[in-house]
Amino acid sequence: MNNSEDFQEIGEDLFFVAGSLAMRKLRSQAELLAKVNVPVLIVGESGSGKEVAARLIHKFSVRSGYRFLKVNCAAVPADLLESELFGHEKGGFSGAMRTRQGKFELCDKGTILLDEIAEMPPGLQAKLLHTLQDKQFFRLGGETTISVDVRILAATNVNIEQALVERKLREDLYYRLNAFTLHVPPLRERKEEIPLLLGHFMNQLARHLDLNPRPLSPSLLDACQRYSWPGNLRELENVVKRYLVMGDESLENGELATHVTGHPQEVPWPENHTPEPTPSDGNDDQSDASSLKSLVRTIKGEAERSAIASTLEKTHWNRKEAARQLRISYRGLLYKIQEYQLVPPGNYLAAFPKNGGWKRSGEQH
């Protein structure tokens, strides 16, 4: 039975699920931070629930009766992001046919979440810093000072230290934002929540899609708890949606890898990631083909191979850039390329070094 205390409603059909000690601790931290009117930096892997945590802080705060707005700094083109946040005056730039309020004005007295803060251009980060300090800004192309009372929450899934070294995130802005940092743990660190989340998503999606919820078999639950979920809650929700609509337990048949969603560059592998050994003893192939051990290895291997191949294709086989996007070491990526026998398309292939690697034109080892 689900404990009602595990669910915190934070909006229309939106819940914070706390079925683990880690998430109950995070909920307590959010309640405390809600009472202090300071910026909060929320960190965690893609799909782990950073926006939900931000909405929870807003709900617990005195600002809950006002707007909560989210701006994804990575999704808005850099040349439009300033206007999106701070608005613009008529004629402020080419194509500005009328004066427009930005998110900060629209969110006065409320809370704004700046998602993927490290993707904000450095010049705009400087303007944001001044807004944090002075609570004032100018619209793009404007000369009138606009004062606002907005609580700023920021979120990122990147390695903060690396972003600072690469100057993707200004140090002065970082130190202004990180007075309090909230860490949202990945799903693999709170697997005891998985049965609760599966039931939650099943009932919620069934209601949205006007379908009858499907039962979750013990083998499906077990397979879900053994899987590492690189896409976190977002991936879990999509697997439930597919099972609800299609009616087959793809996890049990080793097909989950073909349904992994999200962007390959966001797969959160640590620098010291090492591959799991390929099973070599014949016991794995006895009994039935859907042995959970074999299934989990297949899922992880295929998901990893697919993510690496997609990122290499996206970066035109620039392996240093692919390693950066995948957040693994360059040496680790070379190992994976050989392990999965990935070969670049002919137009990317410039040379075959003796060490068995590939070198793209212009790429240095």
Q: How many whole angstroms separate alpha carbon 275 and alpha carbon 314?
A: 23
Predicted pLDDT of residue 346: 56
The answer on 104 and 147 residing in a single domain is yes
Predicted pLDDT of residue 254: 55
Pairing of strands 111-115, 68-72: parallel
pLDDT surpasses 70 at 266 = no
Q: How many whole angstroms separate alpha carbon 82 and alpha carbon 232?
A: 31
The token pair that represents 21 in the structure block = 């000690």
317 lies in a domain?
Answer: no
Lookup result for tokens 């309020």: 101
The answer on 243 and 194 residing in a single domain is yes
- Identify which has the larger pLDDT, 74 or 282: 74
CA end-to-end distance (rounded Å), the chain: 55
pLDDT digits (tens, 9 = 90+) for 54-111: 999 999 999 999 999 999 999 888 878 998 999 888 776 667 778 889 999 999 999 9
82 lies in a domain?
Answer: yes
The answer on 103 and 67 residing in a single domain is yes
The answer on 151 and 26 residing in a single domain is yes
The CATH number of residue 234's host domain is 1.10.8.60
pLDDT digits (tens, 9 = 90+) for 303-347: 677 778 888 888 888 888 888 888 778 877 887 888 788 887 754
The answer on 110 and 259 residing in a single domain is no
In terms of residues, how long is the chain?
365
Predicted pLDDT of residue 71: 94
327 lies in a domain?
Answer: no
The answer on 165 and 208 residing in a single domain is no
- Which of 275, 290, 311 is the endpoint of a domain? 311
The answer on 29 and 110 residing in a single domain is yes
Predicted pLDDT of residue 355: 44
Greatest mean pLDDT range, 11-15, 73-77, 185-189: 185-189
Domain interval for residue 275: 189-311
For residue 167, the tally of other CB atoms under 10 A from its CB is 9
For residue 208, the tally of other CB atoms under 10 A from its CB is 11
356 lies in a domain?
Answer: no
Calculate Rg over the CA atoms of the chain. 23
Q: How many whole angstroms separate alpha carbon 141 and alpha carbon 247?
A: 55
By the 8 A CB rule, do 150 and 109 touch? yes
The answer on 195 and 141 residing in a single domain is no
The CATH number of residue 74's host domain is 3.40.50.300
The answer on 231 and 154 residing in a single domain is no
Q: 255: which residues sit within 8 A by CB, 6+ positions away?
A: none
3-class DSSP state for residue 175? Answer: helix
343 lies in a domain?
Answer: no
The answer on 254 and 139 residing in a single domain is no
Give the rounded distance of the alpha carbon of 70 from its chain centre.
Answer: 14
Q: To the nearest whole number, what is the mean pLDDT of the chain?
A: 79
pLDDT surpasses 70 at 294 = no
Mark out the alpha helices in the chain (DSSP H runs).
Answer: 21-34, 50-60, 78-86, 103-106, 122-134, 160-165, 171-177, 194-209, 218-226, 232-246, 292-314, 319-326, 330-339
pLDDT surpasses 60 at 1 = no
By the 8 A CB rule, do 103 and 85 touch? yes
37 lies in a domain?
Answer: yes
For residue 256, the tally of other CB atoms under 10 A from its CB is 25
The answer on 135 and 33 residing in a single domain is yes
pLDDT surpasses 60 at 140 = yes
Q: How many whole angstroms separate alpha carbon 256 and alpha carbon 247?
A: 14
Q: How many whole angstroms separate alpha carbon 293 and alpha carbon 173?
A: 46
Q: How many whole angstroms separate alpha carbon 136 and alpha carbon 123?
A: 17
- Identify which has the larger pLDDT, 290 or 204: 204
Count of domains for the chain: 2
- Which of 168, 183, 198 is the endpoint of a domain? 183
User: What pTM was computed for the model?
Assistant: 0.67
- Which of 132, 153, 183 is the endpoint of a domain? 183
Half-sphere exposure of 234 (CA within 13 A, CB side): 16
Percentage of residues in the chain having pLDDT higher than 70 = 76
358 lies in a domain?
Answer: no
The answer on 80 and 26 residing in a single domain is yes
pLDDT surpasses 70 at 354 = no
38 lies in a domain?
Answer: yes
